Amino acid sequence: MKKKINIGALISGTGTNLEAIIKACEKNKINGKVIFVGSDNPKAKGLEKAAKHDIPTFFVDYGQIIKQIKNAPTAIKVPEDFDFDEIWAKQKFFLGKTADEKQRFFIISRVIAESELLKIISAYSFDLIILAGFMRKLTPYFINHINTDLNEPRIMNIHPALLPSFPGTDGYGDTFRYGCKVGGCTVHFVDYGEDSGEIIGQKAFPILAHDTLDSVKQKGLELEWELYEECIQLFAQSRLPNNTK
């Protein structure tokens, strides 16, 4: 059997997808092992779930970092390898040629937080990072540090809609409110845009007349557990384009 891949995970909340992936690894449904779980939220319940499986956990408090920068903007220290113009040119979810003050703050504050994440992550030898309900947009600064070969993406995300429809934070809600008869979820690689990376797999379900937003979310979540497992296993088996791990 091929050597198991090492998987790192980033979460923000309860970690339902994370727990499903951990159990799939333990049952050898995924030829891999979760070797760390990090969060932007020190109170994320998913950290407790990971710890119960003896998986190392950590957090970088994004909220506190953003607050400190707002309170003392002249005291901020950006990473030495940070080039704002380079990151701005690559970041695709902003429109316009020139960054306004809000957009500059977003990029600078995120990069400072991401640099703290990277300091911790660099201690681990990993093959893949999965986003399992990580609610922070990643900048090209972080992505490029993980994807050292841009032809071999190593950051995977699951999204609650059938991309390219309904990117953003409320995929199931947007699908339901639009009146769609079919909902679903998507696993994709992360790129410089918002849920715009290469699609790895999708699963769909019918939205019936009696469905509510809660029932749509439950249908989708149950499919997410299946789909994420399948897509990570494809990566572990080197069955994705440009994946030679």
pLDDT tens digit sequence for 77-118 = 999 999 999 999 999 988 777 889 999 999 999 999 999 999
Contact 143, 24 (CB under 8 A): no
Contact 31, 233 (CB under 8 A): yes
The C-alpha atoms of residue 238 and residue 228 are separated, in whole angstroms, by 15
Q: Give the per-residue pLDDT at 96.
A: 73
Given 145, 159, 188, 210, the catalytic residue: 159
pLDDT of residue 150 exceeding 80, the answer is no
Q: b/e string for 23-54 if b means 16 or more Cβ within 10 A?
A: ebbeeeebbbebbbbbbbbeebebbebbeeee
pLDDT tens digit sequence for 152-179 = 999 999 999 999 999 999 999 999 999 9
Q: Give the per-residue pLDDT at 243.
A: 61
pLDDT of residue 149 exceeding 60, the answer is yes
Task: Report, in angstroms and rounded to the nearest whole number, the Rg of the chain calculated over CA atoms.
Answer: 18
Mean pLDDT of 223-233: 97
Contact 226, 181 (CB under 8 A): no
The two three-digit tokens of residue 145, written as one number: 């540090």
Q: Give the per-residue pLDDT at 10.
A: 98
159 part of the active site? yes
Q: Give the per-residue pLDDT at 99.
A: 82
pLDDT of residue 3 exceeding 90, the answer is no
Contact 7, 126 (CB under 8 A): yes
Q: Give the per-residue pLDDT at 79.
A: 96
Mean pLDDT of 44-62: 97
Residue 167 β-bridge partners: none
pLDDT of residue 36 exceeding 70, the answer is yes
**Residue % of the chain over a pLDDT of 90:** 89
Q: Is 49 helix (H, G, I), strand (E, B) or coil?
A: helix
Contact 8, 117 (CB under 8 A): no
On average, the pLDDT of the chain sits at: 94
pLDDT of residue 227 exceeding 80, the answer is yes
The C-alpha atoms of residue 23 and residue 113 are separated, in whole angstroms, by 30
pLDDT confidence bin for 74, thresholds 50/70/90: confident
The two three-digit tokens of residue 90, written as one number: 């690559």
pTM score of the predicted model: 0.94
In terms of pLDDT, which residue wins out, 242 or 152?
Answer: 152
The neighbour count for residue 229, using CB atoms within 10 Å, is: 20
The two three-digit tokens of residue 111, written as one number: 């990069």
* 42: amino acid identity, one letter: P
